Structure 1
Amino acid sequence: MKVFVAVLVLCAIAHTSFGMTKVCEAKKGKKVVTFSETAETTEFPCKYNAVRRTKCGEWLVTVTPGNDLETDKNKHYVIKTLWVGLENMTNTLKWEGRSTLKIARKYLDNLKMAPFTRKDGFLKTEDIFTYGPRTADNQVSLIEKNGDFKITYNLYDPDGSMHKSSGFRFECFSDTFVPTAYPQQLCGNGTESEVHKFKKSMEWQDNRMATLFFNIFTNDEIAQTESNCLTSQRTMTNKCGTKEKQYMAAKLCWPIVGKPRYQRCISGNMDKPISAFRHCVEYVCSDYKDANSCLALGDELDMCPTLDTITLKVRADCKPDLFST
């Protein structure tokens, strides 16, 4: 009986820890595996905070990937940029840097001295990191000199199967590891079902992706650089009004970039899905009164599958000849 009770206690302890790891990584450019080993889909061509001021050793670490659609067939998302921010918890000194597909490729081809470019901060790169070796595995890495953490950027390989090489991996090796909770960072703090609990706390009954989009595009701490991403962020944050309306915009518009039947149809018609997403957000946040965004969205959705609520509204408000399949 004592052995049985002990096993139950151990199981309970394991359950309360929710299997938390010290690894946050993206795979195939579109799936982020969190610290609690849940998988979150990131099918949108914008930036998001995968890791945000997570404590690892003596550092506060931020990792911000930037997604984009590959340009050949517009069927897959790839991580085009990777921004890294560090703050030393002892002296508050900072280092900020980024890599891109071009920068990393030049490094691997011996055309550049470093795989990441320092962008800001008082700390020098060589005082913090060593670089991983130039190898044929299509990746570059930052390795903290004291062994606290490693950040790997896996490059998009157009000849690879399912774009599986596109991704990143942050791994903390230090005993000092305190991850930030969702929604400040997508990888969360290791608590099981963080996205579901957030959605439940808001009394939202709809899908998970709407919650992810709401939290990403209402976060003005993310420095969106692509113009449509930035406009979507500013519109949802500053012009949409209530959280309920912001969530409605996220719920109705995310399929444009997140569901292949819309994203590929819009791309196939030589329009940009992220532009259609932006116009959709502007349209919903204006209480369906913005005529310019209505017309632009109507042109982008024309000849594509019916988008729940949006297609009917656009057809009734501004584009009666909108054809949907």
Structure 2
Amino acid sequence: MAGIANTKTPVTVLTGYLGSGKTTLLNRILTEPHGKKFAVIVNEFGEVGIDNDLVVDTDEEVFEMNNGCICCTVRGDLIRILESLMRRRGRFDGILIETTGLADPAPVAQTFFVDEDVRSKTRLDSIITLVDAKHFLDELDKAHEVQEQIAFADTIVLNKVDLVDERVLTAAEDRIRRLNPTASILRSERCDLDIASLLDRKAFDLDRVLEVEPEFLDEAHDHEHDDHINSFSLVEGRPMDPEKFFPWIQSTVQNFGIDLLRMKGIVSFDGDDDRYVIQGVHMLLEGDHQRAWKSEEPRTTRLVFIGRNLPKDVISDGFAKCCVVTQGCAGGNTDRDHMGTVTISF
């Protein structure tokens, strides 16, 4: 461990719009045999945490910041977590930060230059922006966050390339190049990349960023979120009935998918000893069993919806009707085949 005190810890920021694949890439980094150990910071927009539970079980330390965007209301939490990590940095080789999909990466990056203590002990190594190839062209002009995330990236992962044709991919890359002509663009399906090549690259170029945003190092920050975008969470301690839940979630996605920017959750099904993870982006929906519920873990269903003017009352009412009437009424005879991998596109 010689020389640790004089070595700055590299930090990789994973950003990208809602549903682009940030957690998928994070999990790949944590499970690939690259020989490095990371501390992980996960930021979520809603008040109920989901992403922390979607991170694979590893020996890494995972810190969660809920109910606010890392670039705005909880930025002070980021600084406090970083300062805490620096007091025990001999335990890991680097730090990974997964931002909420609504984050502007500029003030996140700014933290590593304007905060004296953070600057002296950490080094912003890279900003990796994930792009959802299927929905990117539609969202680009609607959400200014998409443009900001691309402009500040040094590496752009054009993800979900299997869902579109070459014409769409070429058009997406052309739009990306107009916003950021210097970043490298990597195509991927489910973030299947050479992970080692993404780490400790010393790729973040402050001079290039200052060309994009000359006031980058000024501490004033006026990032605002779209007032039409809101998030809400649904939590239920009773188990879900799969014969009610699946038709409900499919109809919800079909009816409100155009305004549904992101849906993710962990479901407890009656008679099933495994957690079921479900995720959606617009009208794309997929889910599968993740792992067994731990003995000390509350078997609670938690869903988070992020979208434009979503009808919370309607969705909440439908969700409530998916609970089993009496806990355990299925007698543990749930048909797991009914809850296998589901991938739906309307």
Please confirm whether the aligned pair reaches a TM-score higher than 0.5, indicating the same fold: no
Task: Name the structure, 1 or 2, with higher relative contact order (CA <8 Å, separation 6+).
Answer: 2
Bigger Rg over Cα:
1
TM-score, length basis structure 1:
0.30
TM-score, length basis structure 2:
0.29
